[in-house]
Amino acid sequence: MSIVVTGATGHLGRLVVEQLLAAGTSAGDIAAVVRSKEKAVGLAEQGVELRIADYEAPETLAGAFTESDRVLLISGNEVGRRVQQHQAVIDAAKAAGVAQLAYTGVLGGPEADFRLADEHKATEQAILDSGLPYTFLRNGWYTENYTGNLAPVLEHGAVVANAGEGRVASAARADYAAAAAAVLTGEGHLGRSYELSGDTAWSLAEYAAEIAKQTGKDIAYTNLPAEAHQQILTGAGVPEAFAAILVDVDKAIERGLLARTNGDLSRLIGRPTTPLADTVAAALAQQ
């Protein structure tokens, strides 16, 4: 049996492999599905098997899985293309008869009514239709979705959004990676759906205050009308269609859809989730 991580050179995929190794999984029992061998040199040097395949090229996925594999399908990042990309992986996994297909979806699953969730919901349904043994990892917001964009916040002294007073129960990307590693190596997770989020929900005003506290700078949260926020995003070079999706996510935050916290994540990883302050500090150290 191999534990197979797709998208293993991405931000989340690399962390999942790290968590598997840290938890004692032998490198020889881990396979990384990657598009580029060159980008995966570090994984290969650790003894991880590389399987070269591309979501966009179904024929390359034909030999990516075997019958006893436990597979983690990490969702693609090309919004608008993900359903067909994921379907190619599902089809290959079904043809191989894998032992488990875990999928990184979105918090709320079928109940999530914001546009970013649409492709995740369609993928979950495709997995159910396939009849494969599944585990749904419905990930909430990564704290790094915010801290990865600190430069303009520090430059302008403002956190800008259209999320009102909504709260976000985020967690560090490494927390979600640890949860994935847990369900890939543990038992009793088949047929389960986990709603994964941080232990504590925070507002964007609190996020701005935390940055201000750690930097000594004046940082404020500026809540804008959705249209104005979209104009700022497109003016900064974000494609119009994706800017609309981000604005729609903020509306979902305002409605409380990303504030849910039921403890699934901390229970799976066996510890509290990473506090907002810690992820902010780590990001500031990289500035």
CB 263 within 8 A of CB 277: no
Give the number of other Cβ atoms within 10 Å of residue 1's Cβ. Answer: 12
What integer pLDDT is reported at residue 78 of this predicted model?
A: 84
Query: What pLDDT digit, counting tens, does each position of 64-110 carry?
Result: 999 999 999 999 888 888 999 999 999 999 999 999 999 999 999 99
Cβ neighbourhood burial of 123 (10 Å; 0-12, 13-18, 19+): buried
CB 32 within 8 A of CB 8: yes
Residue 1, pLDDT above cutoff 80: no
Q: Is the pTM of this model over 0.85?
A: yes
- Across the chain, mean pLDDT equals 96
Query: What pLDDT digit, counting tens, does each position of 269-282 carry?
Result: 999 999 999 999 99
Residue 18, pLDDT above cutoff 90: yes
Three-state SS letters, 148-200: CCHHHHHHHCEEEECCCCCEECCECHHHHHHHHHHHHHCCCCCCEEEEECCCC
Residue 219, pLDDT above cutoff 80: yes
What integer pLDDT is reported at residue 77 of this predicted model?
A: 81
Please provide the DSSP assignment of 258-276 as one string. Answer: T----SHHHHHHTSPPPPH
Query: What pLDDT digit, counting tens, does each position of 172-181 carry?
Result: 999 999 999 9
What integer pLDDT is reported at residue 210 of this predicted model?
A: 98
Phi, then psi, of 216 in degrees rounded to 5:
75, 10
Q: How confident is the model at residue 30 (pLDDT cuts 50, 70, 90)?
A: very high
Cβ neighbourhood burial of 218 (10 Å; 0-12, 13-18, 19+): exposed
CA distance 48 to 29: 8
Kindly state the percentage of the chain with pLDDT values over 70: 100
Q: 18, 102, 2: which is closest to 51 by C-alpha?
A: 2
Q: How confident is the model at residue 47 (pLDDT cuts 50, 70, 90)?
A: very high
What integer pLDDT is reported at residue 79 of this predicted model?
A: 85
In 3-state terms the chain splits into helix, strand, coil percentages (rounded to 5) of 50, 20, 35
Average pLDDT estimate for 108-113: 94
Residue 21, pLDDT above cutoff 80: yes
Q: 29, 253, 6: which is closest to 123 by C-alpha?
A: 6
Copy the structure tokens of residue 268.
Answer: 């799976």
What integer pLDDT is reported at residue 278 of this predicted model?
A: 98
Residue 228, pLDDT above cutoff 80: yes
Q: Does domain 3-140+173-196+261-273 have CATH number 3.40.50.720?
A: yes
